[in-house]
Amino acid sequence: MAKCCPACGQVVPPTVMLPRLRQRIYDYVAARPQGSPVNQIADYVYADDPDGGPENAAVCIRTQIYFINSKCLRALGLEIRGKSGPQGLYKLIAYEPTT
């Protein structure tokens, strides 16, 4: 279901409608096919928050990504996936269900 560029093989991000916080996360990740670390995503998402966002913003971002995947993206054949750890990058990829 996911559309990929025939030249480079990267996922072509579809337009989706999500609640504001989740939309900001999706838009940020979708615009960066090379991937983004969770702290950069959090910095972008909470940039307008006068308090700087929640104390543990990385956990909040990971939780929101779970809901974006389960409630929206997997039905489109996509998901945001990242690797844990300080060097983990979150990317929009084609969804491959596990058996």
* pTM reported for the whole predicted model: 0.88
Closest to 11 in 3D by CA, of 98, 99, 90: 90
Tens digits of residue pLDDT in 67-88: 999 999 999 999 999 976 667 8
Tens digits of residue pLDDT in 38-60: 999 999 999 999 988 899 998 99
Tens digits of residue pLDDT in 18-42: 999 999 999 999 999 999 999 999 9
* 90 strand-pairing partners: 36
What is the sign, positive or negative, of the torsion defined by CA atoms of 71, 4, 97, 44? negative
